[in-house]
Amino acid sequence: MPHAIFFDLDETLIRHSTPVMEQLQVVCHQHLADLSEARWEIFHEHLMTNVGELWNNIAAHSGRCEAEFETIFRRGLERVDGDAALAAPMIEDFIASVVDSTGPSEDAFLVLDQLADAGIATGIITNGFSFLQKRKVKAHGLAERVRVVMTSEDAGAHKPDIRIFQCAMASLGVVAGDSWHVGDNLDKDIAGAQGAG
């Protein structure tokens, strides 16, 4: 038996019912009622470029991603002549929308509780920004069922990079040979975990 079992978050422990980009567009139009299609395209392109850059350089921004995210939104709003002060409420509504569109997978609680009863430590290893991923974990009652939540931002690396797996194992004081990982993505979860031993 393993000493620890780690789980992926999105589409493993929780399920999404609405695409994230669709939610972003809805939130933007709620805050910017007069946002034309052309201005939305400018704003969207700005977000994708800059959030993508933040994602690709996550190690350099570890612990600061939420503030960087707000700066990106503020600058995007300025580019479409919007009120930069709307950035924080837009992000909050976007996060709330994403969290509300997710729910625990069938039997997620049962599995985690049974593993705890068997004395096996559990954790979550998830690609993503801490401010969003940890909000989902808390909202769905997973925080009290696992001993560690390791995000890309926490580790400064995304799955399949072995560093995120190593950080999670170190936080529980376990080694690769005594650990399992469960996830839905063949490259990021399965190959990543195998690459980490």
Strand partners, 6: 123, 181
- Using an 8 Å Cβ cutoff, are 191 and 160 in contact? yes
Cα–Cα distance, 106 to 169 (Å, whole number):
26
- Give the model confidence (pLDDT) of 55-74 as tens digits: 999 999 999 999 999 999 99
Reported as a single tens digit per residue, the pLDDT across 74-121 is 999 999 998 999 999 999 999 999 999 999 999 999 999 999 999 999
Q: What is the arithmetic mean of pLDDT over 34-51?
A: 91
Output the six-digit token pair for 101: 């569109």
Residue 54, SS3 per DSSP: helix
Phi, psi at 151, each rounded to 5° = -100, 165
**160 preceded by cis ω (within 30°)?**
yes
Q: From 121, 151, 122, select the one nearest 136 (Cα to Cα).
A: 151
How many helices and strands in the chain, by DSSP H and E? 9, 6
Return the pLDDT at 25: 87
Comparing 38-42, 124-128, 130-134, 168-172, the range with the smallest average pLDDT is 38-42
